[in-house]
Structure 1
């Protein structure tokens, strides 16, 4: 059973409800209202085809009955590792229907993370893919069963048979029984993809997801009709949590997904199904821009591409606006409970350099010094967040001590500044600052400049160990098609002579990759990149 204390003051939660920031119901109740309102509307479009709200509701009911028959009760945790598709959405809503707490984690997280997440959350049930790619996820979990004493039930997707997820969703018993679920009860555990040795697990309520995160999506949706959102990122990620909980349950929209990112398939989904918003990371948009089929794709329905996960260079913003023919929205957020986005109408120079003005219906933002005092406009400090989307707490109380204040604010660990016009600028992370011989270097500052080099398609800067200086900055590149890789000296010339970067901030190591690797959450995997370097200068 999950124990989750809401660290946001109760008076604040009450005020947000009174102000209308929260819906008046839990996620499954919100979903059933959408089913009643438009049963034949497309709820999910995935690799298998189109699934209506009525079809999805039937599967949700049968899966909820199967979980209940397995003994899962209100407040217990159900871990889920599935690729994007109707299955992931149905499990989300089935877990919500019985008042349990869903713990999704993306395909790609391996044995070590699986053991850590399930053991620390005390998950009593797990729903996993039989096999995806070359990884037999069901077999991995089976090997871990002896180390997971709380795990009683495993449901396998894609394995066939009446007890598989698909068999239960198709032929299992159905039920209309439901417990009373409070909107402020825990609904979902988001897994942080940050740089901690072990992933952080963050507990969100029904109302924080549907209300706070819902306000973030709602602010981006313009025009008539239900929203149609294409999520290129995993639904199990923090960014993807606005799929089933928000797009489907809160707003009755259509959710478009693919089981794994493929630029050609993404463009096909846009061309055939006309989404309004496309959610991804800059690397994904770059790959779509480079695809030869782009010129043949009808992009007329797309109102904005919404980018999260990393900073973006001006050339990418301009290319997206020009070739996609829509707005580029820069999104800053994390599983820990902070969010800020640019407005589709913001000028390009703001989009690449800022992440927008905070929305009080989502989360207020402060930038503070080491003593927790607000810094002056323009000064750099740590970003704190608090608002309707704020989570209850972390699964591990040790993280609450480190990352939550007594009055509910989340210490993000990110460094930023707020300019005189109220725009938030993110300049890096405390634990990503590279300390070279006692001097602090910002990898983000260098990444933004290198990204403007005409040969560069992707860039990431990481700190690598060095006996003499402690750390040195390494720059990792992926090149545009047909481009020649710059040498470290040529790159230094470009950064100093063209952009005026101080020589003390120059990268000292360089490595070129075909493409930069992505973590399971869709961000550039800087941990993997660091492991590719040794202390031998290159």
Structure 2
């Protein structure tokens, strides 16, 4: 074991979830292998290279596991993975599970400083990275770090292009003789994967998950969205290397025997094309991505009429559409089982438009890498409107039980009282990696995960998200919740998408800025937005004082709105001329 990964939950509690069947009590590779034996030729992966069935995937997994074992990688070793959404990422996930190693995936596009931080703190012995992807040369960049990372023994280069000297070609490992390979079959309650959270800490948090927490806890989340238990066909718009993307290999394939539909880079055009070609049952993304897709559908509607886009409001019930809409052309869309949106708050307008456009329930998912999950389910097409926060659905104890606690004492609060959301259940992670300070800060003495989110449970047991303990803009000593302002701004008829951030100010400390994607070319002014907020009853001190109009919200490599980048851009725009050059360079680097 290269880094100590301890469990903050009592062992008998972990065992109880395996004994009662809540968790499968098998390691991820064994689960996958059972799925492969049960249906040899089912399609496992659909990516830019085409189809890969379970048997062909298993063959490649065994070859890579053999090659990695021959490099000296074994049980408990941490291996970084920085690959786009394609079959190589899936092969790497399963090969590391078969070895009993611990995967540390992080999305392509993450900078070299963050990669160094992750690999150093996790004491990774190897990293698998792309030779080239969208202008990034991750394998070469990571090789340059090797001398500063004493635990790192190998950089494995994947994909087309010239393999940098000093790296190990992934293609060579995939040609290993796997005839004598024997899987390690690790303890299902041992670490399988480290999820990276881009939360509020100065350095990204790393959270260790066991096989059972992934396939069991997170697997139960997806099971609740599979009404007939048919193996799902999941289109992942988010990176598999993100926390949301951990529902890919471990859950969709190993737990449920489904199919992964993968895009190596999200664009709304590619996502809509994948829907038409592959007819996914579940689409997993963030609200901003779906708003971009809705914009493209509106463009199709304008160009070709209502039959082209699926946005014809004259239909009596969009959810009653059938697969006859899927004709493989530029026409209508096949109807999925669910559109699952997480990563940021889902507003009612987006949910209603997406329901009409895609003809299926829109599921609002509240979750994080830290170990919390709750969603609105398939029963309602649109999350219920609520004036006191975002409705997140009823907690599922087979995934994570949720309580509302006093932020200081952790004592449970009664229904209706606002407090910190804490969670504990089968998906609860083991611990934070190499961060006892984070264990102390974000886990209670009983092991409950402290989310840092504020919310309440109503009398029906439904969770409502109100805001964040730390995500506030402090203007002149008064706290402003960006989430609260965003919820109101997105109801403006000319606003397609919005993110609010704090901008440094010499007088007030911070001022609130609204970064808005408009619906139309009509002029959008700060005055009109503030007038709308006043009509909605939001007090004036919470109104934004800066407006940035943009064509699309920038996304982080993990697929979430890039708040830090927007904040830096606004800071650059307001900086004195002599300091803008340096700030602009920082903005470009970010």
Structure 2, unpaired ranges of 5+: 301-308, 311-329, 577-590
> Contact 1:330–1:351 at 8 Å: present in 2 too?
no
Q: Distance in 2 between matches of 1:212 and 1:485?
A: 47
Matched, 1:313 2:340: no
Q: Distance in 2 between matches of 1:341 and 1:362?
A: 11
Q: Distance in 2 between matches of 1:130 and 1:217?
A: 33
Q: Secondary structure at the match of 1:519?
A: coil
- The within-5 A match list for 1:337-348 is 337-346=371-380, 348=382
Shift of the 484–306 alpha-carbon distance from structure 1 to 2, 3 Å rule, reads same
Please, which of 236, 239, 257 is the counterpart of residue 241 of structure 2? 236
Q: Distance in 1 between matches of 2:464 and 2:505?
A: 30
Deviations along 1:67-109, one digit per CA (max 9) or x if unpaired, are: 1000011001000000001100000000000100000000111
2:587 matched to which residue of 1? none
Please, which of 455, 461, 473 is the counterpart of residue 434 of structure 1? 473
Deviation at 1:300, TM superposition (A): 3.5
Q: Distance in 2 between matches of 1:143 and 1:351?
A: 51
> Contact 1:270–1:298 at 8 Å: present in 2 too?
no
Deviations along 1:313-358, one digit per CA (max 9) or x if unpaired, are: 2211111111110000000100000000111113625278311110
1:327 matched to which residue of 2? 361
- The within-5 A match list for 1:84-483 is 84-159=85-160, 164-169=169-174, 171-174=175-178, 175-223=180-228, 225-291=230-296, 292-293=299-300, 294-295=309-310, 296-346=330-380, 348-350=382-384, 353-369=390-406, 370-395=408-433, 396-480=435-519, 482-483=520-521
Q: Distance in 2 between matches of 1:289 and 1:157?
A: 34
Q: Distance in 1 between matches of 2:185 and 2:295?
A: 50
Deviations along 1:476-512, one digit per CA (max 9) or x if unpaired, are: 11122x3324211111111102x11111111111111
1:52 matched to which residue of 2? 53
> Contact 1:464–1:533 at 8 Å: present in 2 too?
yes
> Contact 2:513–2:545 at 8 Å: present in 1 too?
yes
Q: Secondary structure at the match of 1:366?
A: strand
Deviation at 1:467, TM superposition (A): 2.2
Please, which of 510, 525, 536 is the counterpart of residue 487 of structure 1? 525
Root-mean-square deviation over aligned CA pairs: 1.8
Q: Secondary structure at the match of 1:431?
A: coil
Deviates more, 1:258-267 or 1:151-160: 151-160
2:546 matched to which residue of 1? 509
Deviates more, 1:414-423 or 1:189-198: 414-423
Deviations along 1:46-86, one digit per CA (max 9) or x if unpaired, are: 11111000110010000000110000110010000000011
Q: Distance in 2 between matches of 1:88 and 1:183?
A: 21
Q: Distance in 2 between matches of 1:351 and 1:422?
A: 16
Shift of the 239–190 alpha-carbon distance from structure 1 to 2, 3 Å rule, reads same
Q: Distance in 1 between matches of 2:262 and 2:575?
A: 43
Deviates more, 1:351-360 or 1:386-395: 351-360
Deviation at 1:158, TM superposition (A): 1.3
Deviates more, 1:171-180 or 1:516-525: 171-180
Shift of the 338–65 alpha-carbon distance from structure 1 to 2, 3 Å rule, reads same
Q: Distance in 2 between matches of 1:156 and 1:347?
A: 44
2:327 matched to which residue of 1? none
- The within-5 A match list for 1:2-21 is 2-21=3-22
Please, which of 507, 522, 533 is the counterpart of residue 570 of structure 2? 533
Q: Distance in 2 between matches of 1:84 and 1:14?
A: 33
Deviation at 1:428, TM superposition (A): 1.9
> Contact 1:235–1:243 at 8 Å: present in 2 too?
yes
Q: Distance in 2 between matches of 1:220 and 1:328?
A: 11
Q: Distance in 2 between matches of 1:537 and 1:146?
A: 38
Deviates more, 1:310-319 or 1:152-161: 152-161
Aligned length: 535
Structure 1, unpaired ranges of 5+: none
Q: Distance in 2 between matches of 1:377 and 1:297?
A: 48
Q: Distance in 1 between matches of 2:533 and 2:185?
A: 60
> Contact 1:509–1:537 at 8 Å: present in 2 too?
no
Deviation at 1:433, TM superposition (A): 1.4
> Contact 1:270–1:297 at 8 Å: present in 2 too?
no
> Contact 2:475–2:509 at 8 Å: present in 1 too?
yes
2:555 matched to which residue of 1? 518
